[in-house]
Amino acid sequence: MKKQLENSIIKTYRKDIWSKFMKALREYALIQSDDVIAVCISGGKDSMLMAKCFAILSRFTEVPFTVKYIVMDPGYKQENLEKIKSNAKKLEIPIEIFSTQIFETVEKIDKNPCYLCARMRRGYLYNYAQKLGCNKIALGHHYDDVIETNLMNIFYAGEIRTMMPKLHSQNFKGMELIRPLYLVKEDAIIRWKEWNDLDFLECACRFTEENDSNLKEQTSKRKEIKDLIKKYKEINPYLDSNIFHSMANVNISKVLSYYDEEKEVNFLDTYDSKES
């Protein structure tokens, strides 16, 4: 099983997964010598694949670094926790589980419980990773997450902002967040999962479990954006890559205003000085 799983990543899906994983590490300088990286595993397909990629890389890399595979239990049902343990065993990932009471806290909140849950999860992960001596946490966001976030920010926040491949933590000094699957498309992850006949958690959120999960999925903003991209890719097959690369091809002289760290810069501020 181990050989099949590893071969499926570095051979069968080398072009779509392994090469893209390695390219992101290089292109965005995600790993440096002597890093101690907390690979954060939620139990879903993305974080599990990321963990396996790190497990392979750690054996062959010329850049010395340490990996710790951590699973935060925010209050999962026991069967979901057992599924995470079972999949980690199949993938031969030595996970370390720590418990929190996030679900119990968030279920008392009426307004924006998902936002609060995400914020709390991130804080707990940073805190636990730092206690383990880590200087980075790795999350399993992929290429599709990035382009969907780009459009969601335009459609629902009225701003141009992307999901960055790495970030310095504002609240945990010396800590960084990295996204090694930044260039890996979700379709490739799904094909890898199905090739190996693996069954990962889809969503273990207590709110989803206690409600009509299909209804929640259908009405979610991210699902709406995902469907929109799929629809228009039938017209323009390069749509997703154009959305992705647009965030690296910003022409500042052709925007009305932008934020320069702490202040807003308006095109009128320099308009007259550019008169020819």
- Dump pLDDT digits (tens) for 218-256: 448 888 999 999 999 999 999 999 999 999 999 988 999
The percent of residues in the chain predicted with pLDDT above 90, rounded, is 74
How far CA 255 is from CA of 23, 24, 73, 163, 179, in Å, comes to 30, 28, 44, 20, 28
Q: Which residues contact 82 (CB under 8 A, 6 or more apart)?
A: none
Choice between 169 and 112, residue whose per-residue pLDDT is larger: 169
CB atoms within 10 A of CB 212: 10
Q: 68 phi and psi, to 5 degrees?
A: -125, 130
Choice between 25 and 77, residue whose per-residue pLDDT is larger: 25
Q: Are 187 and 145 in contact (CB under 8 A)?
A: no
CB atoms within 10 A of CB 157: 10
In this structure, the strands spanning 176-178 and 166-168 are antiparallel
Q: Which residues contact 174 (CB under 8 A, 6 or more apart)?
A: 135
How far CA 21 is from CA of 8, 65, 154, 167, in Å, comes to 14, 16, 27, 18
Average pLDDT of the chain is 90
Place of tokens 């390219």: 23
Confidence band for 217, pLDDT divided at 50, 70 and 90: very low
Distance of CA 180 to the CA centre of its chain: 8
Q: 146 phi and psi, to 5 degrees?
A: -65, -50
How far CA 128 is from CA of 15, 144, 257, in Å, comes to 34, 28, 39
Mean pLDDT of the 77-87 span: 94
Confidence band for 190, pLDDT divided at 50, 70 and 90: very high
What's the full length of the chain, in residues? Answer: 276
Mean pLDDT of the 9-15 span: 97
Mean pLDDT of the 73-77 span: 89
Report whether pLDDT(276) > 90: no
Report whether pLDDT(214) > 50: no
3-state helix, strand, coil in the chain (%, to 5): 55, 15, 35
What's the pLDDT at 274?
Answer: 75
Confidence band for 106, pLDDT divided at 50, 70 and 90: confident
Range among 19-23, 205-209, 262-266 rated most confident: 19-23
**In the CATH scheme, what is the homologous superfamily, with its name and number, of domain 2-204?**
HUPs (3.40.50.620)
Q: Are 66 and 35 in contact (CB under 8 A)?
A: yes
Report whether pLDDT(209) > 60: no
In this structure, the strands spanning 136-138 and 176-178 are parallel
pTM of the prediction? 0.91
Mean pLDDT of the 47-58 span: 97
Distance of CA 268 to the CA centre of its chain: 37
Exposed / middle / buried, residue 98 (Cβ in 10 Å: 0-12, 13-18, 19+): middle
What's the pLDDT at 218?
Answer: 41
Confidence band for 206, pLDDT divided at 50, 70 and 90: low
What's the pLDDT at 235?
Answer: 97
Mean pLDDT of the 168-190 span: 97
Tokens of 135: 């200087």
